[in-house]
Amino acid sequence: MASFKDADPTVGFLTRKDVDVMLPRPTRVKNKTPAPIQITAEQILREARERQEAEIRPPKQKIIDPTELADYRLRKRKEFEDQIRRMRGNVRDWIKYAQWEESHKDFERARSVWERALELDHRNPTLWHNYAEAEMKNKFINHARKVWDRAVTLLPRVDQIWYKYIHMEDFIGNVAGARQIYERWMNWMPDQQGWLSFIKFELRYNEIERARAIFERFVQCHPKVGAWIRYAKFEIKNGEVARARNVYERAVEIMGDDEEAEQLFVAFAEFEERCKETDGARRIYKFALDHIPKRSVEDLYKKFVGLEKQYGDRQGIEDAILGKRRFQYEDEVRKNPLNYDSWFDYIRLEESAGNKDRIREVYERGIANVPPVPEKRYWQRYIYLWINYALYEELDSGDMERARDVYRECLQLIPHKKFSFAKIWLLAALLEIRQLNLEGARKILGTAIGKSPKDKIFKKYIEIELNLGNFDRCRKLYEKYLHWSPENCYAWTKYAELEKSLCETERTRAVFELAIAQPALDMPELLWKAYIDFELSEGEFERARELYERLLDRTKHLKVWISYAKFEASAIVEAMCSEDQNQDYLREQTKQCVQRVRRIFENAFNYFRTSAPELKEERCLLLEEMLNVEASFGDLGDVSLVQSKLPKKLKKRRPIVTEDGPAGYEEYIDYSFPEEAHTQNLKILEAAYMWKKRKVV
């Protein structure tokens, strides 16, 4: 027996164990093999149908005298009254009650039920509809008319009630009454379908003038494009061409700025085309294309092009196609005004048409779409709009002042503190040069150097002054260029070439000295080569040799060693080709040159062997070059000196290590030099000696 303490307060004095529902444990299927006899779903359903018990239905009651009928009616009325008392707002119960009374031909009671239901919910159209239908079914026309009249008075916005009311009057032949009901309905300004049904009603009785008057009221009540088109088609159907044209003209005046105006113009033009008025249709299309927004004239362009292809001449067809393409480009630039490729295509189209005002308008619209972000990559396509605009004004229009204004506005628009475009500055300066305004060009280029100096601007400015022979200006420009970019080896080299062309040897040498003294250079190898070539062209071999030594103090690159050795070897070739000197003296000089070449190669080889032993490939290339040079010396050369140092090529494998771990092996070429093999052998002998010594101890 559970104690009082174990009781759960939420379940009285019972314990949780007493109230727990013990569900049966699910049985586990041990044998999952298929049964020998399989049962289909159809068989299961058939057996279920066969075993189903018969439905129990109440016995049929036969009424044989008025007393039983009265009892039956009393009992059914009590059931209906109880039902509607329980669920007073259920409209279906009221309808069933009234229809039951109607089926027993007790129309007064049926009307009483309908009236009680309407007192409860007079806003329900279903009640009114069923009430009137019951009166009509039993041929109580006046009662039905009163019901419909009350319904449309209380619910004037329910179109279905109006339709049923009118249908009843029309069905019994009361045309005047139906027309009067329509007039009452039109005072409430229904939707388009109500007006159209009124028009169809009048046309069914061949009342054309009445239908026309209704159309006039219809387009005033619903001033939409569809209403005007219906009105015009009505006049066309009745053969009134002049009236139809008048309707279209009035519609254009009233609805010309509507969003659906395209449909109106297309319908008007097709009407004129059917009337063989092609000129009028063409005028309508052109008027529409000029006044309708470009985003909603696609169908209009198709119709216009079709008209021109069918009735127009070559010029008209070209104008229509041009207008269609213009519409396509307008749509593209409207969707994405920052798509400058679309602007280029649009401008090219207008330039092919040759209308200057349109071309300038498109250019102005295009350059008005300034990139929203001040980053150069967003401006690179945009800036060509300005360039093409200026070139058009200069070359096609011949208006130089406009071209100057375009360049001036473009240069004012560009944020030069963040980025600039050298092309714009140069094109503006070249325009002034073509107009023989040299001072204007210098002013533009000087402003460019002051605001946003660039390599292209300096190079072009120097080229202009050099062609004019103003060498002092060129020197000043080179000084500014190098002050702005002291690491630019191209500028140093060109400055030195200028001085060399003016035969200013000392100035040239001073420029080169200043250049190689710079702490940082972008391409020092080109600068040193130009300096050495300059000294060689001047015949200053000692100076060139000193330059090579100074260069080797800065860098030990393989190409520098080889170039130095070839320079010394070239002296040997010149000495051997000379026939004016004494042969013994020449031979002695040649031997000295050979010794210098060998010393350079030896120094290079020792450097790569001791200071950079990991650069085996460079050492191998150096030995190959040494071998070629020794072979070129002829009798003075000694190839054996180099052959004893040549390495052996070994093919080896090394593991490939990636972020995910080892990924296999790769083959590579390694070089084994003789001195390294000898050192490796000494290490093996030393290790063997140490092993033997430890064994003795």
The reported pLDDT for the residue numbered 14 is 53
Report the chain's mean pLDDT, rounded to a whole number: 82
Kindly list the distances between the CA atom of residue 137 and the CA atoms of 102, 141, 163, 171, 678, in Å, as whole numbers in the listed order: 10, 9, 17, 13, 128
Asked whether the beta carbons of 257 and 292 are under 8 A apart, the reply is: no
Backbone angles phi, psi at 657, to 5 degrees: -115, 125
**Higher local confidence (pLDDT), 580 or 422:** 422
Mind listing the pLDDT tens digit for each residue in 518-569? 888 888 888 888 888 888 888 888 888 888 888 888 888 888 888 888 877 7
* Residue 446 confidence (pLDDT): 92
Residue 697 — pLDDT band, cuts 50, 70, 90?
low
- Decide if pLDDT at 605 tops 70: yes
- Report whether pLDDT(682) > 70: no
Q: Does 97 have pLDDT greater than 50?
A: yes
Backbone angles phi, psi at 52, to 5 degrees: -70, 135
Lowest mean pLDDT among 146-150, 460-464, 617-621: 617-621
The 3-class SS string of 414-428 reads CCCCCCCCHHHHHHH
Confidence of residue 423 (pLDDT cuts 50, 70, 90): very high
Least confident stretch, 10-14, 540-544, 625-629, 638-642: 10-14
pLDDT computed for residue 586 by the predictor = 65
* Residue 5 binned pLDDT confidence (cut-offs 50, 70, 90): very low
Q: How long is the chain?
A: 697
Distances (CA, A) of 116 to 349, 412, 460: 77, 85, 102
The band of 216, judged by pLDDT with boundaries at 50, 70 and 90, is very high
Structure tokens belonging to residue 379: 């401006």
Q: How far apart are CA 115 and CA 101, in angstroms?
A: 13
Burial class of residue 64, CB neighbours in 10 A (0-12, 13-18, 19+): exposed
Nearest in space to 600 (alpha carbons), one of 631, 566, 647, 624: 566
Contact yes or no for 136/168 (Cβ under 8 A)? yes
Question: Which residues are 655's β-sheet partners?
Answer: 665
Question: Is the model's pLDDT at 593 over the cut of 80?
Answer: no
pLDDT band at 3 (very low <50, low <70, confident <90, very high): very low
Radius of gyration of the chain (CA): 54
Q: What is the DSSP letter of 80?
A: H
pLDDT, mean of residues 129-135:
91
Structure tokens at 259: 């969003």
pTM of whole model > 0.85?
A: no
Q: What is the pLDDT of residues 292-315, one digit of tens each?
A: 766 666 666 667 666 666 665 555
pLDDT digits (tens, 9 = 90+) for 610-637: 777 777 778 788 777 777 777 777 666 6
Task: Say whether 672 sits in a helix, a strand or coil.
Answer: strand
Contact assessment for residue 88 and residue 124, using Cβ atoms and an 8 Å cutoff? no
Higher pLDDT among residues 234 and 641, named by residue: 234
Over range 220-225, report the average pLDDT. Answer: 90
Residue 4's pLDDT is: 42
Q: Which residue has the higher pLDDT, 60 or 97?
A: 97
Query: What pLDDT was estimated at residue 296?
Result: 60
- d(CA 465, CA 238) in angstroms, rounded, equals 85
Closest to 84 (Cα-Cα) out of 100, 97, 75? 97
pLDDT at site 322: 67
Mean per-residue pLDDT, 431-444: 91
pLDDT mean over 501-515: 89
Residue 259: per-residue pLDDT: 75
Poorest-pLDDT segment among 17-31, 341-355, 405-419, 460-474: 17-31
pLDDT tens for each residue of 249-285:
898 888 877 778 878 888 888 888 888 787 777 787 7
Q: Quick check: 17 pLDDT over 70?
A: no
Mean pLDDT across the stretch 195-207? Answer: 92
Q: Work out the average pLDDT over 388-396.
A: 91
Q: What is the pLDDT of residues 107-123, one digit of tens each?
A: 898 899 899 999 888 89
Confidence at 574, pLDDT banded by 50, 70, 90: low
pLDDT attached to residue 566: 81
Count of CA atoms in the C-beta half-sphere (13 A) of 153: 6
